[in-house]
Amino acid sequence: MIPDQAMETDILITNIQLPGRLGETPLVKDCSIAIKGEQIVRIGPADEFSSVSGKKIINGQNRLAMPGLINCHCHGAMTLFRGLADDLQLGDWLNDHIFPAEAAHATPEMVYWCTKLAAAEMILSGTTTVADGYFHEQEAARAFSDAGMRAVAAQGVIGFPAPGVVDPADNISAAGAFIDQQQADGPLVEPAVFAHSPYTCDPETLQAAKALAREKGVSLFIHLAESRSEPEMIIGMQGESPVRHLDALGILDPDTVCIHCVWVDDADLDILAASGAGVVVCPQSNLKLASGIAPLADMLARGISVGLGTDGAASNNSLDMFREMDLCAKVQKCRNLDPVAVPASRILEMATSGGAAVLGREADLGSLEPGKKADIILIDVDVPHLQPMHGVDLLVYGAGKAEVRTVLINGQLVMEERKLLRFDLAETMQRVRALAEVVYRSNHSGAS
């Protein structure tokens, strides 16, 4: 970097604040960020930018720039079922409400519009990358792509008839076809495989899903050790716990991402750490379904790569990563009555660079540095509930989605001053409401 050489860039963010380092000044004022194509090319104090010009200038006054949040676990299309069945046990919720609703309503059209609504909600709350998993995932991929949002889109594999895959024997080939198509479609949406869980997929299916993921060079996601009763439900259980089951089947490696991991013992954690597998904790969903609190401090102490996820809107009911960070920090403190268990700064890391590592994207996502993708959110810090800002912990304990004013993904503006630029939000909400009417009527048939 030679500060005095003229540099023309695509977007220049001026007058912006950057998070300071811990124990130093809470915010560093008067900085700039230059973006060229998909990348950040320069970031730092304004005086290093005297010779940098930008085709578009964004005035960052009263704004803090931070890396876009990375939501490592979501089922975007489930926005349709938001609030449909609250306050229930995981088993009842899945078997009596969610699986039947999905069988009846999860059409390609539903997946497209409801995922697009999820994308809107996520962009509006500062998430720039999501790891999504559902059925008809090509429609989810199309929705993220149309919204300008970065995603890992994982096609669901499950051991019973599912939306779009009537015969479970076709699961693997359907996932393979999805991956081939998506890899041809471009870089913003990356494909993957989502094997639902060891209690809905038998060992052969799990191994076939992992083999496919290895063959195509993509990640395998799986729900794992979510509820206390999971071991009793596992099909063809090998070993003494869900983690040991997957280990025995050869599923765990650095390209496998295990979602939840609430009910894991020390031996399980050692296995996860040795395997290099990623873990995603979803505290809101785990609390709402009363699954429990994942042993996050123990995971981090072992060096396990951990990301944060919202899960789907049916079990949260929000896709807001700010809410997720706040709750994650607080609930960990009560797990062992230890207020220093996982400090706020560590949670912020999980929601950014930690998430990037879980998705194998630590080289180009998760922080604001030259050479990384320009996935940037601008936060309004001139609001009462962020006064005063003694430290950046307040981004976890105080900031909320409404302060996210402007969002760039892959060097492109996708939201400016809370206006989504890539698609018609009103149309999307209207489409989802119309679909929800049908769900509501079929659940309350006979009622007015």
Q: Which of residues 62-91 bind its own copies (CB under 8 A)?
A: 79-84, 86-90
21 touches its own copies (CB under 8 A): no
Q: Considering the rule CB under 8 A, would residue 398 count as an interface residue with its own copies? A: yes
Q: How far apart are CA 258 and CA 281, in angstroms?
A: 9
Contact between 186 and its own copies per CB under 8 A = no
Among 100, 161, 339, 370, binds its own copies (CB under 8 A): 339
For the segment 355-374, give every residue that binds its own copies (CB under 8 A): none
Strands 278-281 and 189-195: what pairing? unpaired
- 25 in contact with its own copies (CB under 8 A): yes
Report the residue from 183, 273, 330, 367 that binds its own copies according to the rule CB under 8 A.
330
Residue 248 interacting with its own copies (CB under 8 A):
no
* Closest to 245 measured CA to CA, from 163, 85, 254, 258: 258
Residue corresponding to tokens 């659940």: 443
401 binds its own copies (CB under 8 A): yes
Q: Is 338 in the site for its own copies (CB under 8 A)?
A: yes
Q: How far is the CB of 210 from its own copies (least distance, A)?
A: 31
Q: Which of residues 143-182 bind its own copies (CB under 8 A)?
A: none
Question: Interface with its own copies includes 127 (CB under 8 A)?
Answer: no
Could you say whether residue 29 binds its own copies (CB under 8 A)?
Answer: no
CB burial string 301-314: b at 16+ within 10 A, e below: eeebbbbbbbbbbb
Q: How many helices (H) and strands (E) does the chain have?
A: 16, 17
CB 424 within 8 A of CB 103: no
Q: Does 2 bind its own copies (CB under 8 A)?
A: no
CA distance 147 to 123: 9
CB atoms within 10 A of CB 84: 18
CB 40 within 8 Å of CB 372: yes
| The one-letter amino acid at 367 | S
Instruction: Extract the tokens encoding 111.
Output: 């997946």
Supply the minimum distance, in Å, between the C-beta of residue 47 and its own copies: 17
The length of the chain is 448
Radius of gyration of the chain (CA): 22
| Closest CB 448 distance from its own copies, rounded Å | 7
Q: Is 334 in the site for its own copies (CB under 8 A)?
A: yes
User: For residue 101, what are its two tokens?
Assistant: 């609703």
Asked if residue 124 binds its own copies (CB under 8 A), the reply is: yes
The least CB distance from residue 84 to its own copies, in Å, is 5
251 to 290: interface string for its own copies, x by CB under 8 A: ---------------------------------x-xxxxx
Among 27, 235, 267, 425, binds its own copies (CB under 8 A): 425
218 binds its own copies (CB under 8 A): no
Q: Which of 1, 303, 390, 446 binds its own copies (CB under 8 A)?
A: 390
Exactly one of 44, 214, 400, 416 binds its own copies (CB under 8 A); that residue is 400
Question: Which residue do the tokens 């085709």 mark?
Answer: 55
Q: Least distance in Å: CB of 261 to its own copies?
A: 16
Three-state DSSP class for 12? Answer: strand
Instruction: Give 35 or 436: the residue with its C-beta nearer to its own copies.
Output: 436
Q: Given the complex with its own copies, which of 51 and 229 has the nearer CB atom?
A: 229
Paired tokens of 434: 């119309």
CB of 87 to its own copies, least distance (A): 5
Interacting residue with its own copies among 95, 215, 440, 442 (CB under 8 A):
440
Applying CB under 8 A, among 297, 402, 416, 423 the residue interacting with its own copies is 402
Single out the residue of 83, 149, 90 nearest to residue 116, CA to CA: 149
Cis geometry, peptide bond prior to residue 317 (ω within 30 degrees of 0) = yes
Residue closer to its own copies, measured from CB, 87 or 167? 87
Q: What angle do CA 426, 395, 144 make, to 5 degrees?
A: 35
Stretch of residues binding its own copies (CB under 8 A), selected from 201-209, 239-247, 314-322, 363-371: 314-322
- Dist CA 306 CA 349 (whole Å): 10
Judged by CB under 8 A, does residue 320 bind its own copies?
yes
Residue 352 CB, nearest approach to its own copies (Å): 18
Q: How far is CA 45 from CA 18, 33, 93, 427, in A?
A: 9, 9, 52, 41
Q: What angle do CA 170, 192, 130 make, to 5 degrees?
A: 130
